[in-house]
Chains A and B, each alone.
Chain A
Amino acid sequence: MSEVLNIKELKRFKSVNKSVKKVDGIALVTGQPVYTNDFDVPGALHVRLVRSPYAHARIKEIDVSKALKIPGVVTILTYKDLPRVPYTRAGQGYPEPSPYDTFVLDKKVRYVGDPVAIVAAETEKAARLAAKAVKVEYEVLEPVLDYEKATAEGAPIIHDEPEAVGVYDASRNIAAHFEMEVGNIEETLKKCDKIIERTYVAKTQLHAMMEPHAAISYFDPNGRLTVISSTQVPFHARRILSRIFGLHIGDIRVIKPRIGGGFGGKQAIHLEPYVVAVTLKTKRPARLVYDRPEVSMATNIRHEMKYTVTIGAMKDGTIKVIDMKGLSNTGAYGEHALTTFMVAGSKTLPLYNKVEAVRFTGDVVYTNLPSAGAYRGYGAPQGLFALDCTIDELAHELGLDPLEVKERNSIREGESSPIFRIMGEGREGVDQIVRSCKLQDCIDKGKTAIGWNEKRGKQLRNGNKVRGVGCAIAMQGSGIAKIDMGAATIKMNEDGSFNLLLGATDLGTGSDTIMAQIAAETLGVKYDRIKVYSSDTDMTPFDTGAYASSTTYVSGNAVRKAAEMVREQILENAAKYLEEPAENLYIENAKVISNKTGREVTYEELCTKLFYTFEQKQIAATASYVGEESPPPFLATFAEVEVDLETGKVNLVKLVSYADCGTPLNPIQAIGQLEGGTMQGIGWALFEDVIYGKDGRMLTNDFFTYKIPTRMDYGKLECGLVDSYEPTGPYGAKSIAEIGIDTPIPAISNAIFDATGIRLRKAPFNSEELFFEILKKEV
């Protein structure tokens, strides 16, 4: 099980780097009504959406008359009743690098499940009945269901509406395009001893967070529009709602309560516009909660991507050239299209920074399938699958140990890569030197834990079963440099406690707790003296939201800054109160103490005096932070598999992952993030397969047909952290949220090869396919 290595640091810090319990933990384990759908809002209308049965069609006529007659139905809205404002559902910094190609409701539908009408009724039953009774006449169009054919001559055009903005080439269904080159690929390839070209495909994946998406809207007693939403991005939601409905940002309030998991799936504006449309029309509260099938097919899924990787290397395994050509499937709408595609390069290519020439090119195309969006890893795992496995293949062809090849060509502390500057998210990146990198320690620990040298290449057989091991290394980032910003407000109370108001959204990661620990460390109090509130666009300062592994690094730095400012104010006021210069004073255990006279004043006393009798003022501060760089965490993963040669079934015997996330501010929670991400990666590698019908309907839209891993689906999982210190991070921290999902697919693929000599180049790895390969090869 998990290991935490931090003896040194444990001594140094008082609040951070400690595995304290979550600040919201008691509410969670006692089942308090904390999620969006637990809020009772009197008189709320039940909202249901009528959805398209066709993948591609134009609406000829909608007849709501029969549905309106059903008792309890209050209103039914169609595209005719809504403003025609193009927008993107992507919850990204503004202006978004995603095309504005979406309308709340459109005359055209672009995937099976695309909404065509909003029904609001007094009861859920009436809403469901009415949704069925809405009659829609469609002109059915030919759909584009194969993303490899999306740009073909004569292919149906998915976004032919004139209002869409920012689409790269609508006439060819290309949502986004990117290309970059460093050095000279062709010339450098000529100097290489070995050139290898391989194509890998990572299919889509569902977020499958346990809490379905939910939103409630209402007018508060002062007539302000209030939205409660299970969102990762309340401030983006507010901005986008204001754009769609022509309301002032200040007239909208978005509240984010506890969230039951997000993983990027709640980094978009999914349900909010529908409930708001109903509330604006009826002046009544409205509630919409998606069913599981709606969560699966009508929110976001992961971008399916295909990469052809060409690598040029010397005989000794020195990699000189990496050329990646990609194709990404964004589905019906282009949210996060360009950015996920770029991340597939920007978070993988700098890892192999010893090359002389690099190229990354490709298209993100529209199809008439569910819309892809943000998902933990955000393109990086798709890119890494192709890159890591091609390197693995190269090593085998050169007769070298693949781990050695990866180890030797990868980035180390103090090094850089031109990719950092060239590729950002949707635009240029930011130059940076990797200041903290303990990748080698991660590799060494994992290698020992799996028994790499003893097991590799042995193909240990036990009856019909054969074993093998595989490895993969990865890097990610910590927030989006020079774009994403977080802010925090801290105010002091007269009992010496503090309120920490955060725009950052804890979606179950434990970020509220970590933020409390950072503030407590800086202010010299116990972390339970920090009362955290996140997040509410009215009450908390701005934050771009919880995505891109940003919270610990970006919001965490903002908290540290705010806490330092409050600390200054405490010292200043204590200096007046104690009549001693501030330089003589230090802070410890909720007290200000003089190192000259030994006199002291408790926070409680000081703040009470400040409120009622002395100076009479509030101690408080707000600080903002935007990352100047995005320090990558690192990861090494090793998988041991056992393949049943009679069935093709892959049994994951053991998976080991060691990560460098800087100083883990809360080791247990950091490991929890790593374990959770890793398990999602294992699921994607072995179990989670999205299947569509011939008509483009998602057939696997529930937990029966879409199988996420259960407790019985893996052998041993060992996740651990190695210590490093990121000088730009709050108390040395970097991110950990995403990286765990990057490596399981390549590590397991490489392990299957080690066991059977068979390369599976399409994930998830299907037993049936493997079985037929085994038959062909007679392993």
Chain B
Amino acid sequence: MKLELTINGRVHSVEIDPGEMLLDVLRRLGYKSVRRSCNSASCGNCTVLMDGKPILSCTTFAARAMGHNIETVESLSEDGKLHDIQESLLETGGAQCGFCIPGFVLTTKALLEENPEPTEKEIREALNGNLCRCTGYESQIKAVLNITRKRGGHVNE
């Protein structure tokens, strides 16, 4: 079946298998930042934003994305400048192997839009579904707290 998908503001017309998952279609279209780690909705590595909300693309039917805005991490630095979440991760060492990072960045973006001054507890809760096996989480939590600080918000550690 034919599908129209809006990804990072661009409209793609793609042929898909009826049961195909969004993750497969996104990777096929070249959005390689969307990573597959578990394929069973338990790691968050395949997270993308659908109308600004994080969803797991490995268990979302591609057909469901029709008529919605899909955002991948490729959209964040289009003009060559890093998003402050990305910058902050580099500063705290929050990206080791980097495999979990696109999912992490997108979930964080959604969190900060909803709650610009999250506490450490709120960060942990919001990002709980984003597994990372490298960092021990501390540097990533610190990265999010630093963004609030840099944006002039109040940090409640």
Q: Which residues of A are at the interface with B, using a C-beta cutoff of 8 A?
A: 1-2, 19, 21-22, 24-35, 37-38, 207-212, 258-261, 263, 291-292, 507-510, 668-669, 671-672, 674-680, 702-704, 708, 710-712, 717, 719
Contacts and interface: CB of A to CB of B under 8 A. Distances in A.
Interface string B41-57: 01101000000000000
B32 A21 contact: no
B73 A31 contact: yes
A668 B124 contact: no
A654 B32 CA distance: 38
A492 to B, nearest CB: 28
A561 B46 CA distance: 42
A38 B37 CA distance: 13
Contacts of B38: 292, 702-703
23 contacts: A28-B101, A29-B101, A29-B105, A30-B73, A31-B32, A31-B33, A31-B72, A34-B98, A38-B32, A209-B133, A210-B133, A258-B98, A507-B97, A508-B97, A672-B139, A675-B135, A675-B136, A675-B139, A676-B134, A703-B131, A710-B131, A711-B141, A717-B138
A235 B43 CA distance: 32
Contact of A708 (B129, B133, B135): B133
Interface in B78-100: 82, 86, 89-93, 95-100
Given A260-B35, A261-B134, 20 more contacts: A1-B142, A2-B139, A29-B98, A30-B77, A32-B33, A34-B98, A35-B35, A209-B133, A211-B35, A258-B98, A292-B39, A508-B98, A672-B139, A675-B137, A703-B43, A703-B131, A711-B137, A717-B136, A717-B137, A719-B136
Nearest to A718: B138
Q: Which range holds the interface residue count of chain B?
A: 35 or more
B51 to A, nearest CB: 20
Given A26-B82, A29-B105, A209 B97 contact: yes
B128 interface: yes
Name B's interface SS.
Answer: loop
A676 B90 contact: no
A672 B93 contact: yes
A676 B96 contact: yes
Contact of A210 (B33, B100, B142): B100
A712 B125 contact: yes
Contacts of B86: 26, 29-30
B132 interface: yes
B114 interface: no
B63 interface: no
A261 B37 CA distance: 11
Given A260-B98, A676-B135, A676-B136, A29 B37 contact: no
B112 interface: no
Contacts of B142: 1
Nearest to A508: B97
Contacts of A212: 36-37
B102 interface: yes
B76 interface: yes
B32 A29 contact: no
B156 interface: no
Contact of B102 (A19, A25, A31, A704): A31
Contacts of B135: 672, 675-676, 679
B74 to A, nearest CB: 6
A671 B93 contact: yes
B136 A672 contact: yes
A166 to B, nearest CB: 33
B31 to A, nearest CB: 8
Given A29-B105, A292-B37, A508-B97, A263 B133 contact: yes
B7 interface: no
A668 B99 contact: no
